[in-house]
Amino acid sequence: MSEPIIEFIGVDKAFGDKVIYKNLNLSVYPSETLCIIGGSGVGKSVMIKMLVGLLRPDRGRVLAFGQDVSSMNDIELLPIRRRIAMLFQSGALFDSLTVKENIQYPLIEHKWGTQIEMDQRTTEALEMVGLPGVESLKPSELSGGMRKRVALARAIAVKPEVLLYDEPTTGLDPISIRRINGMIKRLQAQIGVTSMVVTHEMPSVFTIADRIAMVKNHAIAFVGTPEEAKSSSESWLQDFIAGGEGVLAD
């Protein structure tokens, strides 16, 4: 296997008395889709927020592209953040802006190119998520699934090397879930993007994942392929796969 593109090495993280991670270790490899699973409140989203510097570990190192992001300030993080895009659970679109303006917001922030180049990239990104011609609409005019796809178009517009998804299919209908899962797989195939997907929806996991990492007892308790997860003899893992999330409470 190639060198990791992302690494969590001996990471501890707590909020007051609430321990989230204790000696977290995980490697993510180029062009793979790694799904992060685990019970509610175990810190799945905390992991990806540490990767982009929104949260800092109390101990240990978080590496992206071989650089320790946990020791960087906001200015030093800018080149890293240009290479990593994040799709938030809510989509986080600006309601007062059009679809075009939402997608071009990070392009302008990162000084991506001329207006003509940004317009072209906006069109390309919307076509990639199956929403051509919606540039002039506002988020309020879109369905929940369409808003998630616009948020994904905004994330891929900057041509990131790594995409972070925080519960990308939560609250969506089955058809929209299939669309989002299909787009995650297509983006990996078309542009070779590395993806970390935080989710609790096991059907989606078994559709999109190259590997699965399960958070339990403040660390990674299992990491392996979907086939290895299904064949594991660990009862707590099988219970979670079958829907018994409650067994993972700390």
Domain regions of the chain by residue span? 31-59+77-248
d(CA 243, CA 225) in angstroms, rounded, equals 19
- Spatial distance between the Cα atoms of 131 and 246, rounded to a whole number of angstroms: 38
Burial of 206 (0-12, 13-18, 19+ CB in 10 A): middle
Q: What proportion of the chain, given as a percentage, has pLDDT over 90? A: 58
Q: What is the mean pLDDT of residues 93-103?
A: 92
Give tens-digit pLDDT for 155-168: 888 889 999 998 88
- Tens of pLDDT, residue by residue over 48-95, are 999 999 999 999 999 999 999 998 998 999 889 889 988 876 667 888
Mean pLDDT of 6-20: 97
Query: Taking a C-beta distance cutoff of 8 angstroms, is the pair 131, 146 a contact?
Result: yes
Q: Which two tokens stand for residue 174?
A: 């089955």
Helix axes 174-191, 115-128, angle to 10 degrees: 120
- The rounded mean pLDDT for the chain is 89
Question: What percent of the chain stands above pLDDT 70?
Answer: 96
CA dihedral 181, 44, 4, 23 (to 10 degrees): -160
pLDDT computed for residue 106 by the predictor = 85
245: pLDDT strictly greater than 90: no
- CA-nearest of 34, 19, 61 to 163 is 34
d(CA 133, CA 136): 8
31-59+77-248 classified as CATH 3.40.50.300: yes
Q: What is the pLDDT of residue 91?
A: 60
What is the model's pLDDT at position 116?
A: 93
Q: What angle do CA 34, 36, 42 make, to 5 degrees?
A: 165
Residue 41 has pLDDT above 70, yes or no: yes
* Range among 26-30, 155-159, 230-234 rated most confident: 26-30
**Whole-number pLDDT of residue 249:** 37
Q: Using one digit for the tens of pLDDT, what is the confidence trace for 121-162? A: 999 999 888 889 999 999 989 888 888 889 888 988 888 999
Q: Which residues of 229-239 are buried (b: 16+ CB within 10 A; e: fewer)?
A: beeeeeebbee
- What pLDDT band is residue 1 in, cutting at 50, 70 and 90? low
pTM for the model: 0.86
